[in-house]
Amino acid sequence: MNAIKYLLLIGITLISIVSAKVNLTENNTSYILSNGLATFTIAKSSGFITSMKYKNNSQEFLNRSYIDANGGKVYFSVTSSSVVIRTDDLVEIVFYDDYSKHVGTGFAIDWEVRYTMRSGVSGLYFSLTQAHKSNYEEAQCSELRLVMRLKSDVFNWLQVDDFTKRVMPTAAQQNKCTTLSPQEACQLETGEVIHKYDWSIDVLEHKVHGFASISKNLGSWFVMPSMEWKNGGAVNRDLACHQGGADSLQILYLRGSHYGAGDAILKRGEVWSKMHGPILIYLNEGSDVNAIWDDANRQADAEKQLWPYDFVNHQSYVPKAKRGSVSGKLVIKDPLYGSLKISDATVTLVQPESSTEPIHPQQWHKMSHWVTHVTGDFKIENVVPGTYQLRAWSKGIVGEFYTTNTITVTSGQETKLGEVKFNAPRIGPTIFEVGVPDRTAEEYLHGDHFNQWGLYNKFAEEFPNSVNFYIGKSDWQFDWNYCQVSIPGGANGNYKACEPWKIHFNINKVPSGNILLRVSIAASSSTALSVSVNGRNQSSEVKDLIDDACIRRDGIRGIWSMKEFTFPASLLKQGENYVSLHTRAIGGYLTYYRFDGIMYDHIRLETSDSSYPGVAIPPAAGSDPSPSTTVNPNPTSGSCWSQRLGFPCCNGCDVAYTDSDGDWGLENNNWCGIDKSKCSSSSCWAEAQGYQCCKNICDVVYTDDSGSWGLENNDWCGIPNTCNNNSDQCFSQSLGFPCCNNCNVVYTDESGSWGVENNDWCGIKSSC
């Protein structure tokens, strides 16, 4: 965009902001809010939005909307409403639902819903406050949501992040679906399976989700400036958008339990209140769905800068001036290697659920705040005053770290913690490790396209002899499944436990003392875990893993935990050994596929023998790392980036670990740096941006200033310069759509040009 066009756009925006007055029209049944950019109609009887329109466009967005709790068992039911603010710049309407309508239902909670329209903002702000008074009976709330059912024949483009997006099947196609297991999944006549959990979102860095219209170039989005109110906090995952026949469901889960977050249990006598939001229901337009999405993201970034909002006036809301901040420096030390290099850490503040209860990973009760991508120094802004526990974790470092003493945040003040020091868990040198400690199973087979129904059903076929992983030979991207699950073949048609997963490794010397298998778990469902060494001394079962439903609901991270299994080192022998992971279903579904299992984050075998020549770890940070006897101080021939860190260059190109410095390999039990320029078999610019080169495809899906992109294994990859496209193929095959037999273009997006044949989308061939 040139300077003149940019200034013109800014001028138009400023004019619209200055001239946009908020109008409220009221009749016997509805409140109608409009500011020249958006118009919303809200029913007085229900408090639900009944109509949404953009500017002067006559296109209706909604079929209907509603607010409910506990999976539709309790609906918001209006006892009264009022207009609390009415100016040219802002109008706010409040709807109340008090406990009197829910006596004896187990939902002893007052609700308050607020809709706020501001001048110059193309949308409507929404918040929901819950309160429980001392004289109320016990209450339980597992889910709390705003559901907008958009017209699916118009709003047929779903998008929840930059990469999770698609054209939705039509209502007619959905009506011919075959229901699968779990029952939320259905198979279209084309063979494709759609599952509403495939478009769930991770709270950690989420900011916007919704639908766009391919034909009308309109968009409807939920914009979240903060999710400090979400139960489960920074690690939570929840539903966002999915199919619904004639409805495209755009959902805001203010509270959810789909991925293991805890229910709200409010005891009799407990006084509690919590405001969820405000969030922005944002309406927009653009030249195509990509432009509409980009605009929604820009709005989300702008809203985040305005948080906490200055227009909110409520006893359960803390304005910016009365909030505090927490700063410090995260330091994690390894017993053997000193201060570790922190390249991508998350630091969170979580409020205890009460003065006597510890903080649970399923936290629900109060607020949590966090900051991501920490490399050492951190500062968490806009923290609600109160008492918190600090929790932290970092990619590449085993463990979750939390303060034993609580932290007090004071209104208007910065709480300076200085160095926040933690010790990484370790009893001694490493014998082997599998995976990357990052609280997910993304690095394993299918982990790069986890949000896809039925991947767990492939295990028996893909691993007929179960997992046999050989340290130094196997590749966890292909030889380690993303989850360990039950398989067919049990009694009475039920499933049974798979054969134990085995990790094979060779040692030249048997260590003294003990060995410890440290198992970091990314997610689990109704499963007991035990471990044995060389087929002997099977441990007692760990049965306290929380069911986070991550496997059956197509996630890749759930409720993280770490388990330790200790054995005498004398169980090992010189030469080949193996460790076995035994799993057994202990609950869940009993008459068909149990959906039980474990997703492993990272596994490490350690020895208490401090003299054992274990494997080195990536470089430590700071000036006090303990020297490792296994690091070769003399670099190999050639020059690469790792030499400045004191590590040699690799002779080979096998990547064992990646951090912000680059790709690391393991040679002669030493870490070494991989020189990408020497390891690329074909010219590919994408590696410099952290993406793989395309290996098996040459279809161009998207082109930008860097080069041409393809999609392989549901992830972006760079098209090598040596690639020659086949004119009989097309980009859409990698997206699950066929090539068109004709050349009639109906729609074009960043992927390419689309046509329609046999009432289904198809990709226009490059030869057209």
- The predicted-structure confidence for 382-429, as pLDDT tens digits, reads as follows 999 999 999 999 999 999 999 988 999 999 999 999 999 999 999 999
Radius of gyration of the chain (CA): 28
> What is the CB neighbour count within 10 angstroms for residue 127?
23
Q: Binning pLDDT at 50, 70 and 90, where does residue 572 land? A: very high
Residue 343: pLDDT over 50: yes
Query: Class of 320-423 per CATH?
Result: mainly beta
Q: Rounded mean pLDDT of 590-600?
A: 74
- pLDDT band of 616, cuts 50, 70, 90: very low
- Please state whether 386 falls in left (phi above 0), alpha (psi between -120 and 50) or beta: left
Examine the pLDDT at 746 and tell me if it is beyond 70. Answer: no
Label residue 671 by pLDDT band (50, 70, 90): confident
CATH code: domain 430-607 is 2.60.120.260
522, 481 contact by CB (below 8 A): no
Query: Which has more confidence, 680 or 757?
Result: 757
Q: Quick check: 142 pLDDT over 50?
A: yes
- Distance of alpha carbon 355 from alpha carbon 762, whole angstroms: 59
Instruction: Provide the pairing of β-strand 201-202 with 157-159.
Output: unpaired
Contacts of 167 (CB under 8 A, 6+ apart): 156, 157, 214, 761
Which of the listed ranges 451-460, 645-654, 720-729 does the model predict with the highest average pLDDT?
A: 451-460
Taken in order 762, 764, 766, 767, is the CA torsion positive or negative?
positive
CATH of domain 20-306: 2.70.98.10
Model confidence at 615, pLDDT cuts 50, 70, 90, reads low
- Using the structure block, give the residue that is written with the tokens 């309160």: 131
The answer to whether 621 touches 546, Cβ cutoff 8 Å, is: no
Question: How many CA within 13 A on the CB side of residue 461?
Answer: 5
Topology annotation, domain 689-763: Endoglucanase; Chain: A (3.90.1220)
Task: Report whether pLDDT(677) > 90.
Answer: no
Cα separation of 546 and 527, whole Å? Answer: 9
Does residue 323 have a pLDDT over 60? Answer: yes
Q: Report the C-alpha gap between 67 and 51 in whole angstroms.
A: 15
- Superfamily of segment(s) 641-679: Cellulose docking domain, dockering (3.90.1220.10)
Domain edges within the chain: 20-306, 320-423, 430-607, 641-679, 689-763
Q: How far apart are CA 111 and CA 275, in angstroms?
A: 10
* 641-679 shares its CATH topology with 689-763: yes
Q: If pLDDT is split at 50, 70 and 90, which confidence band does 589 have?
A: low
